[in-house]
Amino acid sequence: MIGSTSSHSATAPLHLSDAARAAMTSDRFHDASPFPVLIVDDFLPEAFAADLHREILALQDLSQSNDYIFAKNKFEYPALEAIGPHGAELKRFLLSEEFGTALTAMYGRPLFVDANFTGGGVHRGGPGSFLDMHADFERHPGEKDWVRELNILLYMNKDWEPAHGGALDLKHADTGAASAIEPRYNRLVLMLTKSFTLHGYKRTSFPPGSYRNSIAAYAYSREADESRLARLSTTTRWQPSNAGAVKRTIAALTPGLVRLKQRLLGSNTARGAGKK
């Protein structure tokens, strides 16, 4: 939960509530399965969440995700501050020293949130959308010494029901342990991001005119060890479930092809961040 400093203004500065701070200072994140993850329900004040939800629904200028084969009807808008005053205030809070300090205390090393929301912002899944299981890039595609540590996901699916689908599936690539998180309205998920933290969601069945809505941000640490940085991927690694031979082959080849393109042409994800 986040508490507003005033009950009279939905856009008053947001602050971390005592309940959220307690959750982030507990052992729940590190003790979670199949890998470190923390769920915080009712993250935003009710009135603020409702107004932010309206801003998201009014957003029209979304771009098709670059994930192509491994996702369907997935759209993104990185400039959270441009969707309205509540989006702007949420972005300010996520980038604030207060939130960064709480993330650092929870994680155990200094963290900061990418101000450009590279790969993040508003994410929307249209009719029948899905996102294949994958491990996210571990090193920022535009900042060589930034190591990605956490996914910060805020779900904004009002009136969500289990029949709609879209739960966040989690799987540990090494142990095979798995779980799922329902994308409930106003639910924050803080998730470890490493080579073994596979995640995605199955094909959705939302009612006509409804979408799977989320806001994504990413927390990083700085790393000076060149040898460690060299081992970290700047590309998404896809591991689609129940895929045919052709799709599995494409998934295996994609990281190398993307790395080659990044060396020659740069990163589309990095270029698109904060440009709206």
Would you place residue 9 in the very low, low, confident or very high pLDDT band (cuts 50, 70, 90)? very low
28-181-167 Cα angle (round to 5): 165
- On the question of pLDDT at 237 being above 70, the answer is yes
Strand residues in 165-254 grouped as ranges (E): 168-172, 178-181, 187-192, 197-201, 212-222, 237-238
Residue 41 burial by Cβ neighbours in a 10 Å radius (0-12, 13-18, 19+): middle
Query: Cis (ω within 30 of 0) for the bond into 34?
Result: yes
Residue 72 in contact with residue 130, Cβ under 8 Å? yes
DSSP H stretches of helix in the chain: 18-25, 28-31, 46-58, 85-94, 97-107, 226-231, 245-265, 268-272
In percent, how much of the chain has pLDDT > 90?
A: 71
Residue 65: the pLDDT is 76
Q: How far is CA 10 from CA 79, 163, 216, in A?
A: 20, 32, 21
The residue behind tokens 């994410």 is 123
Provide the pLDDT for residue 68: 63
Helix 18-25 vs helix 97-107: crossing angle, to nearest 10: 30
**pLDDT-derived band of residue 71, with 50, 70 and 90 as boundaries?**
confident
pLDDT at 235: 83
| Phi then psi dihedrals of residue 105, to 5 deg | -65, -40
Q: Give the other-Cβ count within 10 Å of 163's Cβ.
A: 8
Nearest to 215 by CA among 117, 101, 107: 117
pLDDT for residue 122: 96
Token readout for 113 is 């949130």
Token pair for 237: 């690694």
Contacts of residue 110, defined as CB under 8 A and 6 or more positions apart, other chains included, come to: 104, 221, 222
SS3 of residue 253 by DSSP:
helix
Whether the predicted pLDDT of 7 surpasses 50: no
Comparing 45-49, 97-101, 251-255, which segment has the lowest mean pLDDT? 251-255
Report residue 66's pLDDT band, with 50, 70 and 90 as the boundaries: low
State yes or no: pLDDT of 229 exceeds 80. Answer: yes
Mean pLDDT of 72-100: 95
Arithmetic mean of pLDDT over the chain = 88
User: Rounded mean pLDDT of 34-55?
Assistant: 96
